[in-house]
Each structure stands twice: as structure tokens, then as C-alpha cells.
Structure 1
């Protein structure tokens, strides 16, 4: 591929390597990425001071690669070309470099051609081809192109350059090819499609899972301790590993009786995993040495790394940059460690000596306190664990990375995660949804906000309420727990029992009161008792239970069972337990037990084939069944199709926002004029009803005559224009006299309240209906987030608002409405007619596309959207814009 752009004239450099008057550097295009082989690399825009590195990159290329790129032999880049390649404006000419350490190993660029087209070119160093560098560069170039308004990439490729053509087609784009005069002309639209998004997600998952394999499936382990505390950690880790059944190689450095330096074990490698406890000041430099020993992953138990710069202290930013430059994945600092099994047996790399039974549950947490509680609780329940990881301060490896590994891990069928906060909720939602389709995902989020900020954690703060996070979880099929014990109880149920096929629950106990409690709890959770609850006499023993269970095995009217036993006199629970296990084995249906003194997985509640989870209370057992039924509903539900109407004018929308930002300083936002906001909304099929702004009653009458009677009169004041009770809105004015009187009264009322005059808007009356509000905002934590609710003080004060993270499916948009507590008003309430839900869901979907695809749009508010029986009228709208603060989501990025 080649570019026909003429070389630029040479200009003097500034001392720091940046040209005087150079275009603003797009720092939000910088990203760390995981490559196909699990290693990490960095992508950033090219800079003028990259000239020497770019020349070295070129001279390392083979003659064949140079010919395929430039269509001619070229031993060295001429100075004028070197200057042109490294001096770009990040708008009409864009170039990204991919670095391993300090070396440029791949370059991708595009040059605008006009009409929404741009010519794209790639060059990947021969030594690293086959690692997916071209595909990840294409993702980031396309993201930059979409931000800048480019619609299509074109390229001229020699026919023998099949590798480059495959980069385009394998990315999921619909590629057009035409051979002309011995050159293959290639073109494709860069807007993401369902196929390209699926390809991206699959590539991201494979790469990130592979990058985690060195941590959660290691072959050889290095334990390193330095300093008094570090040596203590190292000795404890050595003891826990030796006390387990790990069969892989383990070498200890810095501990009593062993080698003192990493150089002393150079011949014993390579190692996959390093367990490190050492003073912070020496850790960043050590990471390069560990990489030299073949290490792929590091667990860092010690702390001392700051979130802000302090003299003499090492920052977390320096630590993670050192790990990325070394190509390592880093767990910690302040990690409690990990536990994993695999080909080399059970590895306990925590400071807890409790042994975990190998099984199918993946466990994740952040803090050491939570880690100890999870490991201890899992051991107490005899929960079967596939892997456990504590991310500590989560500077690199996070819950998202761990879930990516579990997606590929055949041993993990249930995922349980405990968070203090979620660093990237948008990615969490996407990954968790895929993982939920594989098996249950259970989360427990500490605190009340979902944004705890413990010491040493760098947490972005959201302006959205906790409900936004809860609904994001529900959207992804995630099951929520309130406490760590509940989290582990649910994991025990899901790991040992099948999902209920229906909502009918068999209830058996020896307490009449307990039976009544269970029945009420089931009803409150949306389940139903199969037949009537069976309450045996308080002194009932195994024979009585056996008789009832035999009768139940002959019935087909139940889908799950909850069996409880209370030792009123003699405790014969050890004899009742096997009968419950027999019910589970013979029926093959979901069974839970509440036998006094038999919590977790116990021998009494087991057969050779089945283990029945025991719960400490019937409330916990019933709640677990309710959660299992809800998860089964989510698995079987239609999740719909991604909202993507074919009448959106994306080109015009991009032109509009870019024109508005032309003279706006970065970091500021501006409110679009009503006319420009309406024009932008119209590009996405959102038609705002026309309104005319007036200053006096005569102007109002003239406007009404133009629009047609009857009309509404609304103050332009942002607060009062939605407050009919305060005189800011007057409706159904059908003649000039009514309008003049309403204008005089409203003007006086507004002046009395705000101390000044205001203009008014006149608008035609819309059909009668329910007022709704649809918003889209750019949140620091969530990125784009969509919300919807009914209008009015009562709804707003009670927080009856639903939230979703785009992209949305049609089902997501509908569920946003159904999840509102006041939604009955829309579906028909107390004899009122049902309103046009389809029109409202269509508006929500279109707003989500506009906000998701145009990062320049910082907020959208449609208020009110008046939903009638035959449509949804957008009567008010405001749109704010600013320079993008985030990169496009359709690209692979590490935190």
C-alpha cells in the first residue's frame, strides 16, 4: 500500500522534540494492548521525535516487505519521507505506531482522500508477524477514523500481499476488491458491524485469556522475597506451596537457605509465574529481569506504591508502565495471592493454609481481607474451586481479565466475584454477558455506592446512582449477592445442582411455621409452591421423610425442592440428609436443604453422584432458589438484536458536531442552539417538535397562528419550563385571548420567582399521553450511559429511572421501560389506554446510537417525550458537545 501525498517541507524542531505550532496530540488514542500470543504492547500516535526509531524499523524490514509496502526497493527512508511520515496533523493525516519496549515494530496510517474516504497502510516488522499486530492496529486506526468522520478505508495492494488483504477481511468488514493494472484496489466501510464486533470480542478474549495463563495455569514458579516483610511473605508462600500438591518446579530467591539474586537461578528457568514480596523502590527494575527469566505473570504481595507523585516514592503508574514494557501481566500490589489447579496440580499461592477442594467455581476479589474471607468460607463449605485470584490494588490485572480467562477455562463453570469497585464497567458488562451465557456469574459489591475508594486504589468516580450499576449487572445476566457468605452459598448451589426447569417448588419440612415462611418467601420471589407445603410432625424422622420423598418422586408437578429439618427433640439430621440426597439424585431436579448443623457440602447430604447444598436458614435457601430461577429465565430469554436503524445520517451528524467544535477549546463544553440540536437529532431519526421563541404576547400570537391552534406556552427558563404547577407551562391555549392572558400570568409569575424576565416558547399541542424523559450522558466511570423514566417530581424524587450501557438491543430498550416502577402508566393502568411503547423504545435506541458513536456529544436530554397511543412526540431537547475524552469502544485496550 502506498500514499501519493507530497512530502512536507522541513521545519526546525523544538528542544523537546515537538514541532513549534504542532497540532494537538490526541493522547486519548494511546493504549496498551494484549497481542495474540498473550504479550503486551503499546499503541500511540506517531511523534516528530520518532524519526530515528522509524528509520531503524525500516532498515530491519526484509526487501520483500519493503517492496510490498512501497512498491519499490528502498534500503533507507529518504529524509523528506521520514519527515513526512513523522509529521502528521492527527486529522487529515494520521499515523499510529506499535511499540515493544522502546522499539517500533509496526506502523499504521491513513490519509484522507475526501468524500469520507481515507487511504490506509500498514507495515509490520517481519520478526513479529503472526502476532496479530496488523489486526489490532486496524482496530485503533478505524476508531480514530470514525472519530474524525472517515467512513471508508481504501488501499492499493499488490496481489501477492495476501496477508494484508486478510487483515481487512478477517476483521469482520465487508471488503470490496477490484484488480486494476496489476494492483488490487481494496475498500471497506469502517463502521462496526455485528460481525466485526464479534470478531473483536473473540480476539480480545483469546489474547487476554492467554495473557492470564501464566498466572492461572503456570508450569514453573519463582518465589522472591526481599526486606524483612518480604522474606516473611516468601517463607509463608513457600510453606503453603509445599503443603499443597503442586508438582511443578518451584525455586525461591532471597529466602534463607536459597540463592540470593535472580541471576543465581538463570539456568533453572524458564519460569511462568513469579510471586514477589519486596520493597517498592526495587520492583519496577526487577520486572525486566523477571521477563528475562521467561516470566509471563507476576503476583505482587507487597505495597508502598502511591497513586500520586511523591518524592522518593514509586507511583503505581511507574509500576504498571514497567510491567507493560516488560510484557508482563501484574497482579497487585497488595494481592492476597492466587490458588489454581491444572496439569501441575494444586497451587496455593496465598498466605492461608486452608486447602481448597478442586472444582468448577472461579473466585475473584480485590482486598486481602475479602480474599481471606472467601478462601476460608469456601473451605468451610467444601466448595470446589477451579481458581482464585486476589487483584489487590488492581493496577493491571482486574476482574475483567480474570473473567476472560474463565471464558476459555473448561474447568470453570461458575464465576463468583467480590468487588470494592469496578474499574471499567462498560467492558465488565460486555465480558460478563458472554460469561453468563456460559454459566452463572455471581457478584458482591461492597458498600452502598459501588465506588468504594480504599487507600491505594485509583477509582474513577461516577455521577450516576448505584441503581445504574445494578441495572448494568442485570442487563448482563449477573446474579447479585449482598454478602460474601451469600456469594459462596449461591456458588455452592450453582456448582452442584442443575438449574430449575420451571417455577414450581416442592416444600417439605417438619415445622408448620417454617413451611408457611418458605411458601411466602417463594411467592414473594415469583415462584410457586407445588401443590401444598408438606409439614410433617415436629418429631418426624428419616422414615417419615422417606415416605414423603417416595411420593414426590412419583410426581411430575414440581421443578425444584427445598427440604428442611429441625431437631425439636432428638437430632436425626444425619439420617434425614441421605434421604434428601436421594431425592436430588433420583429426580435430577434442583434440590436445596436446610438441615440443622449441615451447612455447605457435607457427607450427609451426598450420594456418589450428587451433592446437595445445605443452607443455614430457610431464608437463604429460598433466596438461592429464587436467584437460580431468575438466572434460568435470563438464559432462556431472547436478548434481541442490536439497535441499528438504516435511516441514520452518520456523515451529517459528524459534520455538525465537528463544526460546532471548530473554535471550542479542549476541556470545555457548549450547549447547541435549539435549531442545531434539532438538526443533529434529526440525523438519527429523532424529530423534535418545532417551537418558536417569542419575547412578548404579540409575538406569541403570531407564532401560534403560524404553528396552528391549540398551542402550549413554555418559559425558556431551564427549571420552570417543565413546571406547570409553578406557572412555567400553560397548555391547550386555543385562541389569542387565552394566549395573551396566559402570557401575562406566566411572565409575572416567572419574574416574581427568578427576579428577571425571560423569553417564552410557543409550540403546537401534542396528543394526550404520558410525559417521559430520555437522557444520555458521558460518565467518567461508565462512559456513555442511557437513562429513561417518566416525567414529574414524584418519579424524579423517588429515583424511578432505568439505566443501560450501549450498544443496546431492542430487548434492552424495552426492558428499560418495563423495569420502571411506574411503567404501568405506559402499559395501561386502571382502565387507561396502553400507550405507544414501540415509539418510546425506538427513541431510546436512537439516542443510544447517537451517544455511543459520537463521543463529541457529552449529553442529550429529551424532556418531555410525550408518549401517546400512536407515537412519541419530542417536545423539548438539549444537547451539549465537547472534544472527545474517550477513545472508541470498538478497539482492544488494557486499563
Structure 2
């Protein structure tokens, strides 16, 4: 509905609206209740069983009074909050809380009611998650509820949410009470539920028991015809329907005139009609109870404004009926498993079955990715092309592959990332179990593909690279490199370290391999060992066995040119046989030797087949080996615990931020006193600075603070430039006057009133800790050494909250200037102090989206701790984060 419709209150919180995936993979819409929901409430209540009504109201109420319904539907969204979950125009669930004791009270009574036909699908759990997040935003600290003992499902909703629930039985009613502040367990429960629901949703897409294809021409020479032929030729195991309004049969298959004429539920409908007709088909699918849509039709947002409007209508219509959508402009879906054999794509042939899951966004890239996999002989478990990605995205496929035993590694070709915050969270969870290889161009406002819904970003491309590294993702430059790495991580064990042996039958080739390994920061601890070009097969085997058996070797690089005596295929079989006996990876190159790929497989001791990847040039194999080694190191690294700095007054921070935003709805930069006050609530102490508009005021400030002092400029253009904007260790009034006058003359172009006086801090190295609320990435925390490393060399490290202690440690040491701080060139800093400061800034940024910019600079770090000498904070209206505490499809 639009803003002008009278049924929507002026204070209606649209930001609470969300589409959610339920436990069974279906889709529902959660939104605040509205006055025009009165009739829907009556219909909902009338459809409920007597038992459900009694459990909710403790009485057999056949019809709700108009007075009650008005009270239910008219809320203030602060003291009284109500949400409804809908599918189509029907309410399937209602959740509400009423604050107990007025606006300042911190307790609220919570209640739920779920439609009988939707019970057991997780509707109540979703409603509780959303209400708890809203309650926390509104200052509610705990929920209470009265539940009848026989209402076991509702009691389970509370107890299984991960909160610490206390119960009290009195007068036939169980009273429950729990704090709604998210804890580690409740957050884990929420994320696990999200993963299971979204995984189940994708499972229904990739494993449909029935498919209907709409848009097949009579002669089959159409995109729809290509998909239909692929489904038949691929051996699809389910029920296949062909929809055509007139033809009796197509390609020997009987047709039905419409989706509704099928007469039974359909899991997946493939839509390949011209774009202007797509919405009619979607509407019919919604009415027929179809679960999911694959739209291969083009002509949507990628084609211009008219197509963009059509695309928005497609999403709204599908969501209204609870259907998931792949596309539009999708290349299709493939599942090679023998029990499904799904080739709902426009690919020319079914790829071989294997253990690599692949995701690509555009159709053109889908063709390139599948062709490359085919040339490599690399088998796939699944392939999905999201097209314009209006609904199903890479995030959904990642959720599915987390617990899919048939997928051993994942490859993604991403043109854009609609929700990087959620992507990195899910990618990290997946990367802890199996490798994730990503091809992604740099993130910028210019890199948005036509048709993709992507927010602009102000964060530099390096921040996204760091985000991927933080998540354990293996980032590569192109599709060629993606499959280089995939061949290794799918078929070989992960390296246990960086130590490499090089075996070759040419000194020059061995040197090439060794140089490549060193360039990728691998340690060559054995070789290069070069056997003679005319060596026997036994000599090759002995050299390889010695390399694999060496306890100082973690991986083996084997490269050969055509031998004069032993055949190249014999060497390949020897490499495969030896490699299969060891739990160490091996990469190979056979220069000028054709047809060895079929000979590079052998049986391992556990009975599995081990395939040794072969590369055109040694550099390709070594680069892939280095990527796998870096990933293995990340996977084995201790990531620590979520940061939880002691002493942060979260409530005080929230209240202060709300108070300032209430006075300045558009936001503003905080004064120095406000900045110090807000940071003090987080136990961050800022050294006081006294503004000075003249030499006399500077002297007065110095005498008030006590000598020695510092005079510095706070002009934005030079505030980071210590050498030109600061005079330190001033020990007399005369020194203060001279310093002030010199700076004023030097920096005259930046205007007056730009100077402050501070107490002289302990000598140290200046650092900067910053957080920025980015429209695309959400909070981004950075760390750097102040001055030239930041200003000239852009030597800045980035991480995305929420952070673990391991993330913080890696951020601090990720910058190239770290040797200036770690003691290798003098006294080291107090690392624990700087990590604690970064952790506190990350928590402030993560929990307060109104903090648009927070900068601590300079932070003087030294062996005895640190001193925050400068700080700036800017507040702005909170951005609508895409991965908040409320579960939502994004």
C-alpha cells in the first residue's frame, strides 16, 4: 500500500516489514498490524479450532467483539506492538507485546496465535525473534507470558529460543519470564533456524518432485523447448508437465492448457514466456499453490525502466503467494544426483556428476562456468544461475551447501553482493566445513550489473577483500583460477602447512616451480629435486616417495617434460599411485604431454578414488596450492570468542544516542563534550582538549592543563599530519605563543578557530581506529598508523562487526606498518590495550547503527598502554541494515 492510503497510520514502522522463510521452506510476510486488518483478524479467528482459541484466550470465544478487534489492530508501536504474518491476503500468525507499567517500564507481556494450518512451521519462533528485536529497540528488557500447561507448543517457542526462561506455576497457569537481550545461545538458535529454513527452501528448488514448463513452442524451438528437452534428455526422475494452451502434445509429451488444469500441487514451474506475459503466469501459479518459480525469461530490470517495474511486480506477486523465485533472466538449475537428474537449464548438455557446487549470477557467465567445468572434467553436484537475483541468491545456495554431504567444495561467480553482511556470516560458517572459492570484481558504484538490486557503497574495494578474507573465502581473479583451485580442493587433502617439495625431470623446470612457490610465500623445504630426463619409472617413483615421506614436507609439486625412456602416461600413473598413499596434496604439470588426465587417478587406502590435478603451467598449480594452503591455515586458526569488553553501558549509550537523534532527527556531529561523554559510557577515555582562538587563550589553556602541552590544528584537511599540524612538548608560555603563531601562519588557508591545546601525552606511535556505517556493508571498522602510512600509502586494515577476539588480533596486525608497532624496530606497543580499544569501537558500531562515523585519531600507543588524544563522532538516522537481529530474506 502507498503512504497516502488512510488505513496506514502516520507512525507505521515500515522498517519492521520482512519476508521470511519458514521451517518447511515456504515464504511468509511479517509486518506491523494495521487498522485495516480488522476483517482479516475476524477471518483468522473464525478459522481457528476451539482448542487453539481456548489456549490463546483461556476461554471459548466464538467471535471476537468489534471492540476487541479494534484494540488489537490499533497500537502505538511503542508500548503496544503487534505483528502479523501473512500469506497472500490471509493472516497466518499474530504476535504482540504490551508494556507493563507505562512507557518507562522494561517488562512487556507477550502473546502469540498461529493458524492451525501453519502450526509446526516455525511461525511462532519467527514472531518471537522479531518482537524481541523490536522490544529491545523500544527499551523493553524482558518478556513475560501466562501459558496454559497444555499449550506445549507455545512453551517450546519460549524455551527453544535460547533465552534463560524462568517458570512459575500458580492457579493452573504457567507464568514464564525471560530477558530478551540476545545472548550467545539465542543468537545461535536464530541463525541455526534461519539456515535450516533457507536450506530447506533451496532443497525444494533443486529436488522438485514435480515440474511444469510454461513457454514451450509447438516445434520445441524456443528457450522453453530447450529447457524441456534438457529435462527429458537429462533423465529427470520426477513428474514432468508441459503447459500449452492449444497443442495436444509437444515432443511426444502430453500437454495441459494451464497450471491450474494440472490438478495437483507442483513444486517448480519453469517460466519461459515473453516478459509481458510472465506476471499472468506467476499469478496463476500463486493461485494453484506452486512452491517455487524458475524464470528464464529476459526483459526485466536489465532492459530498462519498464522492465524494472515489471521485475518489482514479479517479486511482489511471488512473495504475496509465498513462492520463491530464481531469476528472472536465469540460465537455470542443475542437480546431477542420480535420484533427481535435474537439468532445468539452457545448457547444451548435463555436466558430469561430482562434488563441486557452482553458483553464477548471469546467463552468459553460467555458460562460461559450465563450459570450463566440462573442459576440466570436473564433476558438479549442483549448478544455479540467479539471473537478476530478485529472490534466491548466493546466500541461499550457501545455506543449502552447508549441510549437503554431496558437495565438498563451492564455487561462486559473483557480479554483485546484495547483502555482504549476511554473505560473510554464512560464508564463514560454510568455509569452516568446506572450501568456498569466489570470483568477484571490485565493489564500487560503477560495478552494479543491470537488473541487480544493490545498494551503493562508500567503502573502498580493499574493505570487501578483507571481508572475504575474514570469512575464510578463497578469492580468485577469474573463472580459470576458480577451477584451478576447485580441482585441487575437491580431489586432494588440504595442506597441513606451507612446506613444499618440488620434483621434476628438468633443472629449469624445477627452478621454475621453486620460484613460483617462493613468490606465493610457500617454503621449499625439499628440492627442487631433478631426476634425469632419461630416468626409469622406478627412479621417478623413488623421488616421489622420498618427497611424500619427508616429515618436513606438507605438499608436493611434480612437473615433467616428455621423458626419453619412460612414457608420459606411465609417469602420470606413478604420480597418482604414490600420491594416493599419503595424506598430502599434490599438483602436477606435464609440459608437452597429452592425454595424461585419465591416468592421474588411483585408489587411496580408504578405498576412495584420489585424483591428482594437472595444470598447463607450473605457476597455475602452485598458485592453486598457495590458495589452498592459505585456506587451510585460516580453517585451523583459533578465531577466539565474540568480543565482549567489560564495562560498556549499553543502555546509557542507547539512551544518549536516542536523545540526541530526537533533538536532531537528521543527525549531526557531536560536540567535544558529547563525544567524550558517549565514549566514556563505553569505557573509552579521551584526553581533554581546550579550544584556543588566540595565543593568549592558548597560554591560559596550557596553564590550566599544566605544562608540558601540545598545540595542534583540528582542521579536517591536516588533522592527521602530525609533522605540519602539531607542536609538542611545549614547556613555557613563550613556547606556546611561538608554536601557536607558527601554526597559525602555516595553516592560515584553513581558517581561524582551528586550534586546541592538550596535555602532553606519553611519547608513542599515533594510530587511528575508525568505524563507518556503510549503506551496503553496515558497520566497517578500520585500523591504521596515523600519518603517511594512511594518508599516502592507504595502509588501512578493515573488518566487519560483529568481531571475534581473533578478528581483532588479525586486524591490528594486518597492516603493512605493523612492524612499527610490534617491537621489531624498538619498543613494542601494549597490544592488549589497542585490541581492547578496537573491540569497544566495534561493539559501539555494531549495536548503534546511528553512529555514522566514529574516529579516534590520534591514539598514542606505547608500552604502558594508550592515550586517545582526538575523537569525533557523527550521528545520522539509522540505516536499515540488511542482516539485523530480525530474520529476513535478503
Among candidates 145, 150, 156, match of residue 146 of structure 2: 156
Query: Residue 593 and residue 721 in structure 1: after superposition, are their counterparts in 2 closer, same or farther (change >3 A)?
Result: closer
Q: Which residue in 1 is equivalent to 2:729?
A: 732
CA distance, structure 2, for counterparts of residue 386 and residue 91 of structure 1: 49
Q: CA deviation at 1:237?
A: 1.6
Q: Is contact 2:291-2:324 (8 Å) kept? A: yes
Question: Number of aligned pairs?
Answer: 875
Q: CA deviation at 1:15?
A: 8.0
Q: Which residue in 2 is equivalent to 1:138?
A: 128
After the TM superposition, which residues 255-404 of structure 1 pair with which residues of structure 2 at under 5 Å, given as runs?
A: 257=250, 261-263=256-258, 266-267=261-262, 269-291=264-286, 295-306=290-301, 310=305, 314-342=309-337, 344-404=339-399
* 1:41 equivalenced with 2:28 (yes/no): yes
Residue 222 of structure 2 aligns to a residue in which SS? helix
Q: CA deviation at 1:169?
A: 1.9
Q: Is contact 2:33-2:82 (8 Å) kept? A: yes
Question: Once structures 1 and 2 are overlaid, which stretch shifts more, 370-379 or 345-354?
Answer: 345-354
Q: Which residue in 2 is equivalent to 1:108?
A: 95
After superposition, what is the alpha-carbon deviation per residue over 1:655-699, rounded to whole angstroms, capped at 9, x for unaligned? Answer: 10111111334xx32111221121111212212122223333333
* 1:753 equivalenced with 2:749 (yes/no): yes
Q: Which residue in 2 is equivalent to 1:432?
A: 427
Query: Residue 186 and residue 712 in structure 1: after superposition, are their counterparts in 2 closer, same or farther (change >3 A)?
Result: farther
After superposition, what is the alpha-carbon deviation per residue over 1:70-97, rounded to whole angstroms, capped at 9, x for unaligned? Answer: 3444333333332332222222322211
Q: Which residue in 2 is equivalent to 1:214?
A: 204
For structure 2, the residue ranges without an aligned partner over 5 or more in a row are: 604-608
Q: CA deviation at 1:313?
A: 7.3
Q: Which residue in 2 is equivalent to 1:480?
A: 475
For structure 1, the residue ranges without an aligned partner over 5 or more in a row are: 1-13
Query: Residue 137 and residue 598 in structure 1: after superposition, are their counterparts in 2 closer, same or farther (change >3 A)?
Result: farther
Among candidates 702, 705, 708, match of residue 706 of structure 2: 708
Q: Is contact 1:341-1:347 (8 Å) kept? A: yes
* 1:235 equivalenced with 2:225 (yes/no): yes
Q: Which residue in 2 is equivalent to 1:835?
A: 829
After the TM superposition, which residues 495-644 of structure 1 pair with which residues of structure 2 at under 5 Å, given as runs?
A: 495-540=490-535, 542-552=537-547, 555-567=550-562, 572-596=567-591, 602-608=597-603, 609-644=609-644
CA distance, structure 1, for counterparts of residue 536 and residue 444 of structure 2: 47
Q: Is contact 1:354-1:375 (8 Å) kept? A: no
After the TM superposition, which residues 739-778 of structure 1 pair with which residues of structure 2 at under 5 Å, given as runs?
A: 739-750=736-747, 752-754=748-750, 756-778=751-773
Residue 389 of structure 2 aligns to a residue in which SS? coil
CA distance, structure 2, for counterparts of residue 652 and residue 619 of structure 1: 56
After superposition, what is the alpha-carbon deviation per residue over 1:800-845, rounded to whole angstroms, capped at 9, x for unaligned? Answer: 1111111100110110011111111110132x10101111111111
Query: Residue 598 and residue 686 in structure 1: after superposition, are their counterparts in 2 closer, same or farther (change >3 A)?
Result: farther
Q: CA deviation at 1:541?
A: 5.7
TM-score, with structure 2 as normaliser: 0.93
Q: Is contact 1:489-1:600 (8 Å) kept? A: no
Q: CA deviation at 1:606?
A: 1.6
After superposition, what is the alpha-carbon deviation per residue over 1:787-808, rounded to whole angstroms, capped at 9, x for unaligned? Answer: 1111113423322111111110
CA distance, structure 1, for counterparts of residue 850 and residue 79 of structure 2: 18
After superposition, what is the alpha-carbon deviation per residue over 1:391-445, rounded to whole angstroms, capped at 9, x for unaligned? Answer: 1111111000001111121101101111111111111111111111111111111
Question: Once structures 1 and 2 are overlaid, which stretch shifts more, 403-412 or 116-125?
Answer: 116-125
Q: CA deviation at 1:605?
A: 1.1
Q: CA deviation at 1:753?
A: 1.2
Q: CA deviation at 1:229?
A: 12
Among candidates 11, 16, 19, match of residue 5 of structure 2: 16
TM-score, with structure 1 as normaliser: 0.93
Question: Once structures 1 and 2 are overlaid, which stretch shifts more, 791-800 or 326-335?
Answer: 791-800
Query: Residue 397 and residue 809 in structure 1: after superposition, are their counterparts in 2 closer, same or farther (change >3 A)?
Result: same
Q: CA deviation at 1:60?
A: 2.7
Instruction: Kindly report structure 1 stretches of 4+ aligned residues shifted beyond 6 Å.
Output: 227-230, 568-571, 598-601
Q: CA deviation at 1:152?
A: 2.2
Question: Once structures 1 and 2 are overlaid, which stretch shifts more, 772-781 or 603-612?
Answer: 603-612
Among candidates 871, 878, 882, match of residue 884 of structure 1: 878
CA distance, structure 2, for counterparts of residue 599 and residue 429 of structure 1: 41
Q: Is contact 1:499-1:632 (8 Å) kept? A: yes
Residue 11 of structure 2 aligns to a residue in which SS? coil
After superposition, what is the alpha-carbon deviation per residue over 1:762-802, rounded to whole angstroms, capped at 9, x for unaligned? Answer: 22122111111111111111111111111113423322111
Query: Residue 470 and residue 599 in structure 1: after superposition, are their counterparts in 2 closer, same or farther (change >3 A)?
Result: farther
Query: Residue 598 and residue 245 in structure 1: after superposition, are their counterparts in 2 closer, same or farther (change >3 A)?
Result: farther
Residue 37 of structure 2 aligns to a residue in which SS? helix
Q: Which residue in 1 is equivalent to 2:606?
A: none
Among candidates 675, 692, 695, match of residue 694 of structure 1: 692
Question: Once structures 1 and 2 are overlaid, which stretch shifts more, 471-480 or 75-84?
Answer: 75-84
CA distance, structure 1, for counterparts of residue 94 and residue 587 of structure 2: 58
Residue 573 of structure 2 aligns to a residue in which SS? helix
Query: Residue 392 and residue 467 in structure 1: after superposition, are their counterparts in 2 closer, same or farther (change >3 A)?
Result: same
Among candidates 807, 810, 816, match of residue 811 of structure 2: 816
Residue 781 of structure 1 aligns to a residue in which SS? coil
Q: Is contact 2:531-2:543 (8 Å) kept? A: no
After superposition, what is the alpha-carbon deviation per residue over 1:288-346, rounded to whole angstroms, capped at 9, x for unaligned? Answer: 43355553222111111237995697422211111112222111111111210335342
CA distance, structure 2, for counterparts of residue 175 and residue 497 of structure 1: 47
After the TM superposition, which residues 125-204 of structure 1 pair with which residues of structure 2 at under 5 Å, given as runs?
A: 125-204=115-194
Question: Once structures 1 and 2 are overlaid, which stretch shifts more, 364-373 or 252-261?
Answer: 252-261
CA distance, structure 1, for counterparts of residue 853 and residue 587 of structure 2: 48
Q: CA deviation at 1:893?
A: 0.8
CA distance, structure 2, for counterparts of residue 74 and residue 466 of structure 1: 60
* 1:865 equivalenced with 2:833 (yes/no): no
Q: Is contact 2:416-2:449 (8 Å) kept? A: no
Query: Residue 716 and residue 353 in structure 1: after superposition, are their counterparts in 2 closer, same or farther (change >3 A)?
Result: closer
Q: Is contact 2:850-2:878 (8 Å) kept? A: yes
Q: Is contact 1:222-1:271 (8 Å) kept? A: yes
Q: Is contact 1:862-1:874 (8 Å) kept? A: yes
Q: Which residue in 1 is equivalent to 2:780?
A: 785
CA distance, structure 1, for counterparts of residue 18 and residue 595 of structure 2: 45
Query: Residue 92 and residue 553 in structure 1: after superposition, are their counterparts in 2 closer, same or farther (change >3 A)?
Result: closer
Aligned-pair Cα RMSD in Å: 2.6
Query: Residue 522 and residue 699 in structure 1: after superposition, are their counterparts in 2 closer, same or farther (change >3 A)?
Result: same
CA distance, structure 1, for counterparts of residue 177 and residue 705 of structure 2: 47
Q: Is contact 1:360-1:386 (8 Å) kept? A: yes
Q: CA deviation at 1:587?
A: 2.5
Q: CA deviation at 1:572?
A: 2.9
CA distance, structure 1, for counterparts of residue 79 and residue 202 of structure 2: 38
Q: CA deviation at 1:715?
A: 3.0
After the TM superposition, which residues 18-97 of structure 1 pair with which residues of structure 2 at under 5 Å, given as runs?
A: 18=7, 22-97=9-84
CA distance, structure 2, for counterparts of residue 245 and residue 44 of structure 1: 43
Q: Which residue in 2 is equivalent to 1:11?
A: none
CA distance, structure 1, for counterparts of residue 223 and residue 277 of structure 2: 16
